Chains A and B, each alone.
Chain A
Amino acid sequence: MRNRVLLISAVAWVFLFAGTQFSAGVESSVAAASESHSHHASSASLLKMNPPASWAIEWLLMLAAMMAPTLITPLWYIRVRNFARRRLRSSALFVFGYAAVWMTVGALVLAAETGLKLLHVQSFWPAATLAMIALVWQTSPAKQRCLNRCHAHGSFAAFGASADLDALRFGISHGVWCVGSCWALMLFPMLLPLGHVAAMAAVSTLVFSERLERPTPPGWRFRGLGKATRIVLAQTARLCKGLRLVAEQKD
């Protein structure tokens, strides 16, 4: 299951790297809007160049790429808590509920992004402002509360329509806490005039690293890469030790 989810994420990343037309389209349309000095015309132009369906696909790809690895734990939970014949169905309902929350948020984010870009064409100011907000949010007790709730799963029904409803409900609640935890981080790469994918990769690493941490009492603190860094260092030290032993044996 874990490998399948990681594969989905990897494929989505490939599409994101390859399909830069959306970003390029937005940038070119924004540039056109800037030249025309007409916001009304610019919005129309933007919508024409980037119809909602295209936005939705882009956002879904982002979700799949960035968030799928964080869903491994709840999906594993659904797997072991369901009858074998229901696993796929419950997993699908969970993902649907989760994605529905993010898609709703995504519509708002994309609208805000478009608006901001119209006001500050090719500017780093929106991203810089949001980076400041994200920094404050990242260190806040509220963020920790959301992160803690991302580890919750509760119990759900195993039979009938109740099981379907509970899987959907679990997806929605997980999505809500995930949005609470990651909204600022997700918005940040969207507002950059360039370097979207690189910023998304950085944010994605941060989001995944945060989930590795155990729930902890809320408080003001820097959080994010600590545990992930320690894991990487520990594994690197172990690898180096292994290589050194092999080299010594050869000598």
Chain B
Amino acid sequence: MPTYTRTNAWNNGGTFNNPILLWYAKGVGVMQSRQLNDTSSWWFFAAIHGQRIGQSASFPDWTTLPSPPQVRTAPPPSQSDKDLYWDQCQHQTWYFAPWHRGYLLALEQQVRAAIISLGGPADWALPYWNYFGPNNQFQMPPAFAEQDLPNNGGPNPLYVKARYGPDFSGNIFVPLQFVNQDCMTNDLFTGDDAVTPPPGFGGPQTNPLFSHFGGTSGNLENNPHNLVHGFVGGRTQQGARGLMSNPLTAGLDPIFYLHHSNIDRMWAAWNITSMQSNPTDNAWLQGPPSNGERKFAMPLPGGGSWVYTPSQMSDLGQLDYTYDDLQAPAPSVAPLMERLVRLGVLEDEAARAAEGVAPMITGKQIELLGASPKALKLEANGARTMVKLDSKVRRKVSASLLDAAETKNPDRVFLELENVRGQGDADVLNVYVNLPPGARPDNHPELLAGSAGLFGVSKASEPDDEHGGEGLNFVMDITKIIDEMHLRNALETDSLDISVVPYQPIDESADITVGRVNIYRKGD
């Protein structure tokens, strides 16, 4: 039995009646009392994820953030400490999950050490916020909204002023009509197949030699991770941004670590309960140093450094911790069979008989099917564009759907938002296909291609950032929508009508643009 068990923050109502949360608050308080240059301080750990200090007079610079917390922006640490530890966060890469696991373990050790120094439990472990839990667990645990600790314990270190939520009000919740656990039915860490949209559960492989495109989050990272960041951080109607909405400030908010604890729990459940495998490539196992990039390094309590690789992050038993709940949604059974039933190729009985058989291999050719004519500038209520389809390629898709058989699988179709740029890190864009004019998007969930959380978009839009100013890309599986069009004989069309609908009206200063909307087919 592992020494440490992470438990649900909503135990005992998610209030300070949950002793795990009360000790977390006290431990965070100790870390927040330390200086920026102390490798055990709250501020130093936030900077390990990402930081901007003293470079500009606007968000996300730490010198401009409202308090609480009173963010310490001095004294600066040594250059060697900065070079070793700061700005390590891994996003839009297959290192997302393992890097964050090590980051959580290191933070947890620091908080635990602080708790022990206060006479707290030696087996304290970081709780998780499972927004998919029953009842009102989609709401942030109430302890984080309290301004003071109980029994006149002073200010609550878990309280953050710049946490605005999805509807600008400071009511923090996760809208579950858009945030989902669909990624848990994926069966590939990297890549795509019949049940795994690209770029896979864990993210795209970072090609060491010829690709800096990246910019596309893995399925776990995109939804729920990115969306929860945007919804929890949020913004005000005056344009102030929440800490959680930007990777350069997110680590300052104590709720960050409970959100990531839940993401880590989902990865563990995917491995343990769903029995899905992590990559075995050397480039993943050994981490970025195999590509000539920085190693993963974390400061330890009392000094010293811990260097780790993704290969060391795969086994919770070896890491001496577990979760009290590792349930995972049941994976789709024979998804291709389900699709063939939907397309009328198979009867239900035949599909049931085929359950459990190995999934059939699908075609690997990927080809552009259509593209929008020009870049989209998103107005307050989003944007609408006609994506013109190439008639020859469209006929290939139609033919593959007509020829679908148990031995010949139909094409899959994906929508991509390419080069999404801007300052709206907190914004969430919902993308619909062929939404009738004047219709309320909420009434047409069957036309929803997917949701895109713009967490990190402002950084990715900077020309001298590691993304080269190319912004972010989002891929959505619209195969089911295309299948339905085919069944209604509506696929013989020259274009698709794509609506990009923001969850909340877009602030003008967000200046969000979409370089191009692409439709791809993948098949033979």
Contact = CB atoms under 8 A, between A and B. Distances in A.
Interface of A: 2, 72-73, 76-77, 80-85, 144-145, 148-149, 151-159, 162, 212, 214-218, 226-231, 234-235, 238
Given A73-B210, A234-B286, A159 B466 contact: no
A226 B468 CA distance: 19
Q: Which 9 A/B pairs are nearest by Cβ-Cβ distance?
A: A155-B515, A151-B468, A230-B292, A158-B371, A231-B292, A227-B292, A155-B516, A214-B466, A215-B468
Nearest to B372: A158
Contact of B289 (A72, A82, A155, A234): A234
Interface string B382-393: 000000101011
Given A148-B464, A212-B208, A231-B291, A81 B368 contact: yes
A155 B466 contact: no
A143 B370 CA distance: 37
B419 A154 contact: yes
Interface string B344-381: 00000000000000000000001110110111000000
A157 B387 CA distance: 12
A151 B212 contact: yes
8 contacts: A81-B368, A155-B375, A155-B418, A162-B373, A227-B292, A230-B292, A230-B293, A234-B286
Contacts of B211: 73, 76
Given A155-B515, A216-B466, A234-B290, A80 B368 contact: yes
Interface string B202-241: 0000001111110000000000000000000000000000
A81 to B, nearest CB: 7
Nearest to B469: A152
Nearest to A233: B292
B404 to A, nearest CB: 22
B368 A85 contact: no
Nearest to B390: A83
Nearest to B514: A155
A226 B289 CA distance: 12
Given A83-B393, A157-B374, A234-B292, A149 B463 contact: yes
Contacts of A228: 292
A235 B388 CA distance: 45
A134 B515 CA distance: 36
A159 B373 CA distance: 8
Contacts of A212: 208-209, 292
Contacts of B419: 154-155
Contacts of A85: 392
What secondary structure prevails in chain B residues at the interface with A?
loop
A167 to B, nearest CB: 14
Contacts of B370: 158
Nearest to B518: A81
Most buried by A among B208, B374, B464: B464
Given A72-B210, A73-B212, A215 B371 contact: no
Contacts of B292: 212, 226-231, 234
Contact of A77 (B208, B213, B464): B213
A103 B516 CA distance: 32
B470 interface: yes
Contacts of A226: 292
Interface of B: 208-213, 282, 286, 289-293, 366-368, 370-371, 373-375, 388, 390, 392-393, 418-419, 463-470, 515-516, 518
Most buried by B among A153, A214, A227, A234: A234
A84 B368 contact: yes
Contacts of A158: 368, 370-371, 388, 516, 518
Contacts of A145: 464
Contacts of B371: 81, 157-159
Nearest to A73: B210
B393 A215 contact: no
A154 B515 contact: yes
Contacts of B210: 2, 72-73, 76
Contacts of A83: 367-368, 390, 393
Given A73-B210, A76-B211, A231-B292, A148 B388 contact: no
Contacts of A72: 210
Most buried by A among B371, B390, B518: B371
Contacts of A156: 516
B470 A152 contact: yes
A230 B213 contact: no
A153 B470 CA distance: 7
B66 to A, nearest CB: 27
Nearest to B418: A155
A9 B516 CA distance: 32
A73 B367 CA distance: 18
Given A154-B419, A212-B292, A215-B467, A84 B367 contact: yes
A227 B371 CA distance: 36
A223 B210 CA distance: 18
A162 B388 CA distance: 14
B291 A215 contact: no
A158 B466 CA distance: 27
B179 to A, nearest CB: 28
Contacts of B286: 234, 238
Contacts of B518: 81, 158
Given A151-B468, A155-B516, 6 more contacts: A158-B368, A158-B518, A212-B292, A216-B466, A234-B290, A234-B291
Contacts of B470: 151-154
A151 B210 CA distance: 11
Most buried by A among B209, B366, B388, B516: B209
A82 B213 CA distance: 16
A238 B290 contact: yes
A148 B466 CA distance: 8
Contact of A227 (B293, B368, B390, B465): B293
A181 B373 CA distance: 32
A214 B212 contact: yes
B396 to A, nearest CB: 10
A58 B292 CA distance: 34
Most buried by B among A2, A144, A153, A228: A153
A157 B468 CA distance: 20
Contact of A217 (B293, B367, B464): B464
B282 A238 contact: yes
B278 to A, nearest CB: 19
Contacts of A152: 463, 468-470
A204 to B, nearest CB: 15
A82 B291 contact: no
